[in-house]
Homo-oligomer: A and B are copies of this chain.
Amino acid sequence: MSLNTLENVRIVLCQTSHPGNIGSAARAMKTMGLQHLYLVQPKFFPDPQATSLAAGATDILDKVIVTSSLPEALTGCGFAIGLSARKRTLSHEIVEPKEASRQALSIAQNQPVALVFGTEMSGLSGEELDYCQLQSIIPANPEYSSLNLAMAVQIMCYELRMHALEGKLDAAPEAALASNDDLERFYAHLEEMLVQIGYINPRAPKKLFERLRRLYSRTRLEKEEVNLLRGILTLSVNPKKHTKY
């Protein structure tokens, strides 16, 4: 049985307004066998309403990790899936919950994976989605798609559990994927180099750089590949002195 893989999945809630939703999400997670909850700048936490709605899942609240930014909550993750009902122009690959769960569990066999949820009012921002490698949309009723945050968490955790119970996980990727922190260092490095060579203007709109980010984001870079790319970046602004070519 591959239920252990659920150990490697974390749920990340960004800037939650209603602490009751945090409690309900914890309960939803525990009923499906998940336990790692990360909160990015929650408006209220800890809070008695969160504790009350968590019911028998207060152990999950006790272990919550609160962070001040999304990248911090993604530390060590090889893969992050953003849950958002909105399609954007510069779009990520978008999949249904079932397919998102399949991909998440495949990678979670080796590395931590995150499911990222936005605020109750407006969901994930474009910037937050940019930290994710994949977007998933729960195909709700277009006439009323206002799914409660904890309900969305419940559906995703349910799909993960169903998939884990099937016991037919896809083969794990052969090579380790770059972690979120590796990627962020690479993006910073890339941006610095692009500014240095005059390809982008640090004071101009960032559209161009965002496109590059998304391109690499989709690629699911391996750890080794990030090292290779960063080697190129280093050399491209500071070529080896003794080169003969």
For residue A157, give the distance in angstroms from its CB to the closest CB of chain B: 10
Residue of B nearest to A150 (CB): B151
CB distance from A136 to the nearest CB of B (A): 13
Q: Please tell me if the beta carbons of A144 and B28 are within 8 angstroms of each other in the complex.
A: no
Q: Beyond A27-B148, A151-B151, A155-B158, is A141–B55 a contact (Cβ under 8 Å)?
A: no
A139 interface neighbour in B96, B155, B162, Cβ under 8 Å: B162
Contact A56–B161 (Cβ < 8 Å): no
A75 at the interface (CB under 8 A from B): no
Q: List the B side residues contacting A158 at CB < 8 Å.
A: 138, 155, 158
* Residue of B with least CB distance to A154: B151
Partner of A30, one of B24, B31, B141, B154: B141
Least CB distance from A61 to B in Å reads 13
Whether the Cβ atoms of A98 and B139 lie closer than 8 Å is no
Q: Inside 8 A of A56's CB, which chain B residues have their CB? A: 144, 146
Q: Is A22 an interface residue (CB 8 A)?
A: no
- When all copies of this chain in the complex are counted, the total is 2
Q: Which of A47-61 contact B (CB under 8 A)?
A: 55-57
**With A139-B161, A154-B155, A162-B139 given, is the CB distance from A57 to B148 under 8 Å?**
no
Residues of chain B with a CB closer than 8 A to A150's CB: 151
B27–A57 contact, CB under 8 A? no
A76 beta carbon closer than 8 Å to chain B? no
User: CB within 8 A of A24: which of B28, B32, B145, B148?
Assistant: B148
A residues sitting closer than 8 Å to B (CB atoms) are: 24, 27-28, 30-33, 55-57, 96, 98, 138-141, 143-148, 150-151, 154-155, 158, 161-162, 165
Chosen A-B contacts, 24 in total, with CB atoms closer than 8 Å, are A24-B148, A27-B151, A28-B148, A28-B151, A30-B141, A31-B140, A31-B141, A31-B145, A31-B147, A32-B140, A32-B141, A33-B141, A55-B146, A57-B144, A96-B162, A98-B162, A139-B165, A140-B161, A141-B161, A151-B151, A151-B154, A155-B155, A155-B158, A158-B158
